[in-house]
Chain A
Amino acid sequence: MTAAKTTPSYPYEGPQAMRRPVEEALQRVVDPEVAMTIVDVGLVYGVSVTDERLHVLLTMTSAACPVTDLIVEEVETELERIAPPAMRVDVELVWEPAWSSDRMSPRAKAFMGW
């Protein structure tokens, strides 16, 4: 069960050495409205890392959210800190499949009283 807490809830492709720093960087981005990280809310849909590109698929819970740009920027900033200089950080916003509460981490569900 402890594995559920440490294993990212999104598909990851790329070198194992980058997996943990990427996870930690994403865990530093918190949505203050819900008091949880974007990983716990389940907004990260996938990460793929190659030598030249760190690609993240990200969603939002609402298309009417004005804070979207800010969260995307914060993700970029956190990832640029851990990415080697030659690696381009690319955060892509996606709406399909739509976010649902099934994507929340066990920790997030516990916090919200599931």
Chain B
Amino acid sequence: MHGHGLFESRTKAAAIRLVLIPAVLVSLLAGVAGGLVRAGVTLPAVSAEWFDHAVLGHAFLMICTFMGTVIGIERAVAVKEPLAFAAPLASGLAGLLYLAGALHAAAWLALAAAAAFVAVNVLVVARQRAAHTALLLMGALAWLAGNGLFVADTASSAVIPWWFSFLVLTIAAERLEMTRLMRRRQGASQALYGVLAMHLLACAVSSVSPRWGGLLYGASLVGLAVWLLRFDIARRTVSAHGLSRYMAVCLLLGYFWLAISGVAWCLTSQGAAAARDTALHALSLGFVFSMVLGHAPVILPAIARVKLLFGWAFYIPLAMLHGSLAVRLVSHWLNLDWLATGAAGNALAIALFAATVAASALAWRARYFTSARSHDDAATAP
């Protein structure tokens, strides 16, 4: 039974590695390149048409076809239903279509991906009726709403809140699950539900009034950050060692940027254009990418069957990410020339992280094979 299960999971991992991960990487690379150009970084002259689409579709590529595909794979691996892979397959393909210039087809395919992802989450809720699974489903529905508005070619001020909400609710759900290990104070759950209800209301209001919607949205992000800083297990696990502490550091830094983003979202909604980059990128890079950096060392082995040897080197890209983000965001108030430098640092942090993951995979192999060989030597020794 187990041999069979293992074989199935290895075949699945091979399929993920060969088909889905290349699509994820294309979206990530194109999305990052598009982001760099937007921030004013001069890239080696690329005149290809796909590059224009990468600049235009930066948010779509980063949120829907990169993060959406990664989260879709993660959930499909968890539910163990082959059909659940339809969601990340569709969103991964949507990224390629978008870059190829089939913008409308890509938007429709992303909508289909979100619909499939909603179905997967309905299954998760059916298997485990709990607050955190309901929240995962709400995240999926937010993605569906955002993609629906994107298909209808609605203004980005209406689409972006829903897209971010997909990521924010998904992360909140996963953290809520972990807080079950802490003794919950009276009213803590109610406080969270209140904040999240405000968040969803803010998404809806943003479509009709960016001014009020943005204010509510920002307030809900600040509320969530305060809740997470107060109740998340990261406050406890940061006193552990190794990988556990690293993950907690990633989380706590993420909560700090979540609060900053919330404040910036409020300011932007009231007309402070200089705060817009902070609203978007303290959230996407400071909060979401910090979560990605923190969780990749445990998620990658689960979805791609690549074992990693954790080491202090993981702190280098983390420091680079948060340091360059600070440079990028203060540039709007101090010196706009720093914007491109900060953005280049953000991209470098992601590249450094990829290099660290690759090196730690090699380190694991080296250690594993060395110990296996010395074990064999010991076994054959006279």
Contact B124 A33 (CB under 8 A): no
CA distance A56 to B33 in the complex (A): 49
Q: Does B208 contact A (CB under 8 A)?
A: no
Size range of the interface on A?
20 to 34
Stretch at the interface among B71-79, B96-104, B222-230, B358-366: B71-79
Q: Which residues of B contact A57 (CB under 8 A)?
A: none
Contact B236 A111 (CB under 8 A): yes
Contact B181 A95 (CB under 8 A): no
Complex: chain B residue closest to A41, CB-CB: B181
Q: Does B128 contact A (CB under 8 A)?
A: yes
Contact A112 B183 (CB under 8 A): yes
Contact B181 A34 (CB under 8 A): yes
Stretch at the interface among A5-13, A20-28, A47-55, A67-75: A67-75
Binding site of B, secondary structure by majority: helix, strand, loop or mixed?
A: helix
Q: Which residues of A contact B299 (CB under 8 A)?
A: 66-67
Contact A90 B181 (CB under 8 A): no
Contact A64 B133 (CB under 8 A): yes
Contact B298 A113 (CB under 8 A): no
Complex: chain B residue closest to A98, CB-CB: B128
Size range of the interface on B?
35 or more
A61 to chain B, nearest CB (A): 6
Q: Does B48 contact A (CB under 8 A)?
A: no
Contact A35 B6 (CB under 8 A): no
CA distance A112 to B179 in the complex (A): 10
CA distance A68 to B236 in the complex (A): 23
CA distance A66 to B74 in the complex (A): 6
Contact A32 B236 (CB under 8 A): no
B279 to chain A, nearest CB (A): 29
CA distance A76 to B174 in the complex (A): 26
A91 to chain B, nearest CB (A): 8
Q: Does B18 contact A (CB under 8 A)?
A: no
Stretch at the interface among B50-58, B59-67, B158-166, B239-247: B239-247
- CB 8 Å contact bits of A77-104 with B (1 = contact, 0 = none): 0000000000000110001001011001
Contact A69 B302 (CB under 8 A): yes
B231 to chain A, nearest CB (A): 11
Q: Does A108 contact B (CB under 8 A)?
A: yes
Q: Which residues of A contact B4 (CB under 8 A)?
A: none
- CB 8 Å contact bits of B248-267 with A (1 = contact, 0 = none): 00000000000000000000
Contact status of A70 and B301, CB under 8 A, knowing A34-B178, A62-B128, A63-B133: yes
Contact B177 A62 (CB under 8 A): yes
Contact A63 B77 (CB under 8 A): no
Q: Does B38 contact A (CB under 8 A)?
A: no
Q: Which residues of A contact B183 (CB under 8 A)?
A: 101, 109, 112-114
Q: Does B237 contact A (CB under 8 A)?
A: yes
Query: Which 6 residue pairs spanning A and B have beta carbons closest together?
Result: A35-B244, A35-B240, A63-B128, A66-B78, A32-B243, A63-B127
Q: A67-B302, A91-B2 are in contact. List 16 more A-B contacts (CB 8 A).
A: A32-B242, A32-B244, A32-B247, A33-B178, A34-B178, A35-B244, A41-B181, A61-B180, A63-B78, A64-B132, A64-B133, A66-B303, A69-B77, A70-B298, A101-B180, A101-B183
- Which residues of chain A have a CB within 8 Å of any CB of chain B? 32-35, 41, 61-70, 73, 76, 90-91, 95, 98, 100-101, 104, 108-109, 111-114
